[in-house]
Amino acid sequence: MRCNMQELMVVTSAKQLQNNKSVFVGTGMPMLAVLLAQRMHAPDLIIIFEAGGVAPRMPILPVSVGDSRTFYKAVAASSMHEVMSLAQAGYMDYGFLGGAQIDVYGNLNTTVIGDHDKPKARLPGSGGANDIGSFCWQTVIIMRQDKRKFSSKLDYITTPGYLTGYDAREKSGLPIGCGPWRIVTQLGIYGFDDESKRMKLLSLHPGVNVEDIKANSSFPIIITEPVPITAEPTKEEISILRELDTLGITSKNS
């Protein structure tokens, strides 16, 4: 069964999540990916939503993190204050976010494009994204990749990555050991260099080459060849994903 670009991104993102872990999830493709992970290989993945839903068993994809379905069969219908406190206390294994812009150190912009006071575009803003990126142990980011989105300089930093690299994140007062971990785009999977904290290519998606990676980034990415190839989604994964995607998230702009 053939899949489109966005289906590949969601399936690949879902595979990054392990069973018996907790994930603080944002709206859109991240929600779809965690539901797929829970259905496929991580039945005991604890999903946590900004509005206070903890470990729900959702019968259908919610519209947003505040949808009442994020409380369905949950172990707790708590509050934003409660789940943010859980993140600050170190109980969130994964954060899962989207973004409009990202830089070489994994800093994210979801606030404005252009000047802050007179922007070209006003974006949704932070919501809980700053808290998620600040306090979850490993943040997974799913987003489309091109030169504007993989930006050498962000118009605004909404969510901290590794700031200016090396130990800048820890020096700012953020917890040691937290930060961006994986980025999944339509071209590949990325991680970060252990020392410099610069973005590095971990895997190329089928049909993509290194030149495609370079042509769709405004900053140099660490690339060590030969680069592994991402596993293609199975028929079962695509079939379940399409069943879950009642909002048509993966069919938009595919």
Distance of alpha carbon 88 from alpha carbon 91, whole angstroms: 8
Residue tagged active-site, from 50, 211, 225, 237: 50
* CATH code (residue 15): 3.40.1080.10
Considering the entire predicted model, what is its pTM?
0.96
Paired strand residues for 188: 204
Section 9-26 average pLDDT? 97
Tell me which residue has tokens 């993509």. Answer: 208
Tokens (6 digits) for 92: 């969130």
Report which of 102, 123, 122, 114 is spatially closest to residue 216, judged by C-alpha positions: 102
Distance of alpha carbon 25 from alpha carbon 95, whole angstroms: 6
Distance of alpha carbon 229 from alpha carbon 240, whole angstroms: 23
* Helix 29-40 vs helix 5-14: crossing angle, to nearest 10: 60
Q: What is the pLDDT of residue 82?
A: 95
223, pLDDT greater than 60 = yes
Helix (H) or strand (E) holding 173: none
Which pLDDT band holds residue 239 (cuts at 50, 70, 90)?
A: very high
Q: Which residues 6+ apart lie within 8 Å of 171 measured at CB?
A: none
Which pLDDT band holds residue 254 (cuts at 50, 70, 90)?
A: low
174, pLDDT greater than 80 = yes
Section 108-129 average pLDDT? 92
Q: What is the pLDDT of residue 26?
A: 87
Determine the structural domain holding residue 151 and report its residue range: 5-251
Q: What is the pLDDT of residues 146-163, one digit of tens each?
A: 999 999 999 999 999 999
Section 188-210 average pLDDT? 98
Cα–Cα distances in angstroms (integers) from residue 127 to residues 5, 110, 131, 213, 229, in the given order: 27, 9, 9, 30, 34
pLDDT > 70 fraction of the chain, expressed in percent and rounded:
99
Task: Work out how many domains the chain is built from and give that number.
Answer: 1
8 Å CB contact between 197 and 191: no
225 is catalytic: no
Higher pLDDT, 59 or 222: 222
Tell me which residue has tokens 């979801």. Answer: 110
Distance of alpha carbon 102 from alpha carbon 94, whole angstroms: 18
